[in-house]
Structure 1
Amino acid sequence: MTRTLKVADREKTAERLLNSSADKFYDPEVDIDWNAPLVEGLRYTPEHRCSLYGTALWDRMSEEQRIDLSRHEVASVASVGLWFEILLMQMLLKEVYRSDPTTKHAQYALTEVADECRHSTMFARMVERIGCPPYGPRRYTYHLAKLLPVIGYGPALYGSILVAEEILDKLQRETMADETVQPLVRMVNRIHVLEEARHVRFAREEVVRGMQTLTKKELPFQRWLLATTSMFVTRSIINPEVYAAVGLDKDEAHKAALSNPHWHETIQWAGKGIMKFLDDNGLVGNPGMRAWRRSFLIG
């Protein structure tokens, strides 16, 4: 069931989020001890969330190799998160550019941009600290994504933001509570989860509000754009180069991950909440169903 939101509700929500942002925010430069030593023997992500977990290839890997894969995979997730944060900032600034800057809505959008700047720096520092390259998405995805801030608008724009944020949020919530994971990674995740909750509230309301004014002619494009963007997001989370970094055959390992039921289950588990929300609001359907299935968000 969708709900109706009035223009006045938008300002009330934005004001509450502005107050919350002023009351509680983190500065990763101060709140994280970047010089603390990494703990030998601890993983960088829960074992069962590694993309190769449960495969025959995983069974052949040594314990040291598995831990190293978790290190490179968390670097991939963080650098892909950074990539999407930068796209998100471009999309938010596009919205502010055509808005009244004296509204609380526009001011909160700018506040969120400030949050995302800190998060992007935090992700970059974590990748550097754990000694991994900034993998990011594959090159063709990186260049193709430049179109999103140009063609993205309405519910699909905010829906795309939510897919990336809520999948990452679900993975991070589990990781930050797992004492088998490096303290540095857990702290980075904790900061991101606490601040991202405000962003999710903001974007969810924008999706609901946008659907109220969307025309029937626009709906197919919105569905297609959201599903296609979501597919690129989930397919980019783990860059295949991470497998070569730990001594595996990149093509063999990438193929094993893409066909791994455990990895599919992880993506579906992480995306369950946002997929229900998008479906309830009419954004899951043709012509986007093929892309949704390829994203692993729908079985």
Structure 2
Amino acid sequence: MTNPWQRVTDVATRLSTVSRESRYDPYALFDWPPSLPDNQYWMSPELMTGYGTAFWDELDEPQRVMLSRYEAVNFFSVNVHLIRELIGGVADRIYTTWHPGLSEFFHDFIAEENVHAWFFATFCQRYGGKVYPIRRIDLGSSSADGIVRDLVVFGRILIAEELCDFFNVAMADDDRLPPICQQINRVHHQDEARHIAFGRQLMRALRDEAIERVGQEKVAETGEHLARYITFCVRSLYNRDMYADAALPDPAGVRNRLLGDPQRTEMHRRAVGRTVAFFNRIGIVDGDRVRL
């Protein structure tokens, strides 16, 4: 039987080769227009936080288009913050880790994620005037050492990547959006496909080693944390500041109303359903414990 860590190392080596062969200069790749049309969606309407609800029906078309500008800036801002966190988690593990042989891939991973953070933040600052802050919440302890901590860190990375990729794929070729919006989503998806492939293989190996070292009960505790993290990432898309910037009255009330709307639950399931199913299948996260 193949050693799971050998499989992870083989995948990492192959993906590093692809990464280096397809590397691009981000500063030359993107042609940043001086401004974007204010009468055009910047985010696919079907992906916006109010879509499919009574709230959406109350908005006229100009209001929806205006809101899409701030939803795009918020979505890219969420990417910036999640990337910042995952870069730190991987950097801590380049050479001090339970799994040797992955250093080259981790260097490539960090290089690509640094580029992603740059182009997401550049969009936000050029066309939104800021990167929205992200509101942290207490997810419970995630300070365990060793293999359990790695399970948490790389689990969070995979969750963030798969959630954002769901949106990237949908917007990469949506010609209702300005070309720069499509391009950013498309480029990010192309890189993230490699990271997700690696992350899934890594999580299987980490799961096996964690069960062997600390037992199923500790792995289940990690799953509780990751279930809360999935909820946190989804809720980060509902930013009261973007509702305020879109000149909607009672932005905090809008956020609460949308988060409580059962129509949104189905969208959340679509966005993270594949991820939840994967974690459930490998025995880390109980899908029924994820609040959507």
| TM superposition score normalised by structure 2 | 0.89
Equivalent residue, structure 2, for 1:209: 205
Tell me the C-alpha RMSD between the 2 structures.
2.5
Contact 1:79 / 1:127 at 8 angstroms: preserved in 2?
yes
Local SS of the residue matching 2:280 = helix
How much does 1:28 deviate?
2.4
One-letter identity of the residue aligned with 2:218: E
Distance 1:273 1:50 in 2: 20
Question: Cα 1:129–1:4, aligned 2, differ >3 Å: closer, same or farther?
Answer: farther
Contact 1:47 / 1:53 at 8 angstroms: preserved in 2?
yes
Contact 1:46 / 1:178 at 8 angstroms: preserved in 2?
yes
Q: How does 1:78-117 map to 2 (within 5 A)?
A: 78-99=76-97, 104-117=101-114
Contact 2:38 / 2:65 at 8 angstroms: preserved in 1?
no
- Match among 133, 136, 156 for residue 136 of structure 1: 133
- Unaligned segments of structure 1, at least 5 residues: none
How much does 1:54 deviate?
2.7
- Match among 144, 151, 155 for residue 155 of structure 1: 151
Contact 2:172 / 2:182 at 8 angstroms: preserved in 1?
yes
Equivalent residue, structure 2, for 1:178: 174
**Aligned length, in residue pairs:** 285
Using the TM superposition, name which of 214-223 and 109-118 deviates more. Answer: 214-223
Once the two structures are superposed, residues 135-178 of structure 1 have per-residue CA deviations (whole angstroms, 9 ceiling, x without a partner) of 1312x43xx58x86887723332221111111110111011121
Once the two structures are superposed, residues 210-230 of structure 1 have per-residue CA deviations (whole angstroms, 9 ceiling, x without a partner) of 111122231222111211222
One-letter identity of the residue aligned with 2:149: Y
Using the TM superposition, name which of 41-50 and 166-175 deviates more. Answer: 41-50
- Unaligned segments of structure 2, at least 5 residues: none
Using the TM superposition, name which of 4-13 and 265-274 deviates more. Answer: 4-13
Local SS of the residue matching 1:130 = helix
Local SS of the residue matching 1:96 = coil
Local SS of the residue matching 2:93 = helix
Local SS of the residue matching 1:267 = helix
Contact 1:51 / 1:260 at 8 angstroms: preserved in 2?
no
- Match among 17, 20, 23 for residue 19 of structure 1: 17
Once the two structures are superposed, residues 244-289 of structure 1 have per-residue CA deviations (whole angstroms, 9 ceiling, x without a partner) of 111112122112210233432222111122111111100122xx85
| TM superposition score normalised by structure 1 | 0.87
Equivalent residue, structure 2, for 1:7: 5
Distance 1:121 1:252 in 2: 32
Using the TM superposition, name which of 225-234 and 257-266 deviates more. Answer: 257-266
One-letter identity of the residue aligned with 2:196: V
Distance 1:5 1:34 in 2: 47
Local SS of the residue matching 2:24 = coil
Question: Cα 1:36–1:20, aligned 2, differ >3 Å: closer, same or farther?
Answer: farther
Question: Cα 1:149–1:27, aligned 2, differ >3 Å: closer, same or farther?
Answer: farther
Once the two structures are superposed, residues 73-121 of structure 1 have per-residue CA deviations (whole angstroms, 9 ceiling, x without a partner) of 11111111110101101110121141499x6411101110111110001
